[in-house]
Structures are given as C-alpha cells and as structure tokens.
Amino acid sequence: MTIETTNPATGKVEYRHELMTPAQVDAVLAASVKAFPAWSALSLAERGKVLRAIGAELRRRREDIQRTITAEMGKLRKEALAEVDKCAGACDYYADHAADYLQDQPVATDGQRSYVRYEPIGCVLAVMPWNFPLWQVFRFLAPAFMAGNVAVLKHASNVPRCADVIGEVVAAAGLPEGVFGVLHIDNDQAAEVIRDARVAAVTLTGSERAGRSVAANAGSQLKKSVMELGGSDAFIVLDDADLDKTVAGAVASRFGNAGQTCIAAKRFIVQDAIADAFVKRFVEAAAKLQLGDPQDEATTLAPMARQDLRDELHKQVQSSVSKGAKVLLGAEPDASHAGYPASILDAVAPGMPAYDEELFGPVASILRVKDDAEAVRVANDTTFGLGGSVWTKDVERGNRIARELQVGAAFVNAIVRSDVRLPFGGTKRSGFGRELAEHGIHEFMNIKSVYIA
C-alpha cells in the first residue's frame, strides 16, 4: 500500500511512501533493542553532546525542513521556521538540565541511606500527529533521549517525509544507529507494534478516538502510556480586559496554524459588559487575515492540512448555524484546495458542535456570560481539560479564576502555549501524563527506591 502526501495549498501529490512489511518493522524494533544497552550506558554528558548536535543540525537545515513541513501540511513559512527553532531549543534545554532532573534524590528514612534513582525503561513508541510534525516529536524525543531511552516513531500518514527528515537529522548529528527508528505503518500495524514485547511504553498525541485505541492496546499489555488528546480551550475575557492586548491574543490563539492546534483558544467566553466591544474588534482583526500560499510572506492564514478535515469542520459549522449560531465572519470553504477562512460564530450555546465539540480549524465560538462565576462554569462545561486563558487588568482576579479552571495549563493575559520549562498535558478527556520540563523526562523512567539499612 502506498501513502501519498498531498500539498494542502495546491492539491499536488508531493511524496509517496510504501507501507513497511512485517519484516521491515521487525528490523526497526530489533535495531532499537540492540541499541538500548549501549545508549543507556552513556553518561549524561555524552548523550547531551549528541542532543546539542541534533539541535545544531536542525538549525543548519531549517530552511529545507520548513519547505517539507509546508508542503506536507500547509503551515505558514514563518510558523514552520519557528517550529524548527523550538525543537532545536528543546534539545539544548534537556542537554543543559537533564543532570539536575535525573540525579539521585536522597530521602530521609530510618536506614543509613535511602534515595530515589531514575532509570531508562527501553524502547518507547511515539504515535504522533500532523499539526506540529516536528515539535510534537521533539518534545518527546529530547527528554527520552537524555533519559537513555530509545524510540520508534509512527507519524501521521500525511507527513511521512517529515518523519524521514527527523531520522536524517538525528543520524547526521551522530545519534547511534537504532536509537531512533521510523515506522511507515498503518493503524492496524501500529496496534501490533504497541503489543510487541520489545516496546516498553507508548506516547500519543492525537484525537480522543485515537487515544482510546492506543491506550487500550497499551493497557492490554500493562504498558505505561502518555496521552495528549484534544482540547476546547476557553479564552475568558473579563469586563476589565485590555482590549488591544486581548484581541491580539485572541487572533493569534485561534487562527495560528490555521486553528489546528489542540491548545488553541476555541471558546471565547466574554462578559456582557465588554462583549460587544470585544466581538467588534475581534471580527475586524480576523477579517484582515489573508488566506493564500503558505510560502508567501503576505499570507497570514494557512490552508487546513487536508480537504477532508476542512469539509468536516464545515459540517460542524453548518450544524451549529442550523441550531441558532450566528455567523459574524467567514463560515464558507475557500475555493483553494483545503482553505477555510477565518470564521467567527456568535450566540453559541449547548447542543451545538461549536459548544460541545472541538473545532479543529479557524473557527471561533463566542459565548456571552454575566460574571466571573458564570465564566468559570461555562469554561468547565466541557469534556476536555487541556488549557485555558483569562484576560484582565486585575492579575489577582485572573489568578483566582485560573486556579478554578479544570485544565492542565491556565494562563493569565497570555495565550496558552507549550513551553519546554513547564509540564504540558491535560485532564478529563484531554488525556493523562505530562510532557516537557522535569515531569516529562520522568514519565518514561523507572523511578526506583533504594534503601540501605
């Protein structure tokens, strides 16, 4: 079977890959098992040297990598370059901080000595999505490599060339053979790999449906898994918000990456006293976004990654409108292959897809509320719990509300984003486990207690 990559901006087939045979999959897993003992035995300084070289190679090839990302999933040129740079920064970060995160931790007990030790567990399978085809991978790879683990990657079917590029980068940087492997496989093959005894753990970033399947397969073999799933983040605008800053944040958070971000603001919960002013300025700012060729610097809104995703988003919009939502902007597919304009729906209410579901594209939902208590109630009225933001001139008021949000990350006067220095992940149906920071490097390690009487 052949995997084809279609350029979202042109409809042109860019790359073709054949699915791997069982023998080829077996060879990748065998190589990872073979590589693990030597890689895990290296000192942190030695692994850090390789990781820094990976970061340097990413920076050296950033223009070529950008072109691949944009051709496969349509990301704006400037956004793709920023993604490459962020991956390189993550490599440097873990090379710098792993020694602190992984040192033995003394614990006072009745023994003469007790401590907690962190040990790698082996081969970790990463099942990754297309929306950040490098960053989603490196935010797992960088800590996994520094921890002494090895990894195999099953990337999304529409970004196979990005997977190969990652393999080329780490090899050019001197990563030993077998420490990282790419699997061009379908979902049925992936389920078999998850159940393979050579795989110690699984990490997935993707949809709730994918998470259920992967977590079930991992659980059937009693394997550790980390699930970073969907989100329907609240963007709470309080009545004293700075509208200049808030509107700029709203546009960036909802329409960056063509709205195809799990932590993008999707539900704009606005207090009545400021709602009309905010909505007017939000519509005016979003209307200025230019949909077009993602390689053109004048383009400010990328196409969606695939035409079928664009069509599914439009069905959600149409359903919401049929149930009473009001179109303030956009809401009609563009004539380009996978384009969808910046769109804003008002009067969104429970029972509509725009309220109940994740809209994974450039569509904003406006929900009007009367006060702080209602804002928190509406923000938490979702099955998701990934992130949320609060916008106010009163920082302490914002902090109080942020602490009440049922999410993995709450930001005040800033858009929700992943930061290598902070743990990243969700609660409720947005998944479990954490990536990044100290918490992320510990996820795939044996946390061993040592007690000496």
Instruction: Give the residue numbers marked as catalytic.
Output: 228, 262
- Encoded tokens for 288: 């200025």
Amino acid (1-letter code) at residue 258: A
DSSP 145-172: HHHT-EEEEE--TT-HHHHHHHHHHHHH
**Chain position carrying tokens 């569509």:** 363
- Encoded tokens for 329: 């902007």
Residue of 286, 287, 270, 288 whose CA lies nearest to 278: 270
Distances (CA, A) of 149 to 42, 121, 357: 11, 6, 36
Exposure string of 364-383, with b = 16+ CB inside 10 Å and e = fewer, is bbbbbbeebeebbebbebbe
Torsion of CA 143, 149, 152, 154, to 10 degrees: -40
List the end-to-end C-alpha distance of the chain, in Å, as a whole number.
60
Q: β-strands 265-271, 199-205: how paired?
A: unpaired
Q: Map residue 269 onto helix, strand or coil.
A: strand
Residue pair 262/228 in contact (Cβ under 8 Å)? The answer is: yes
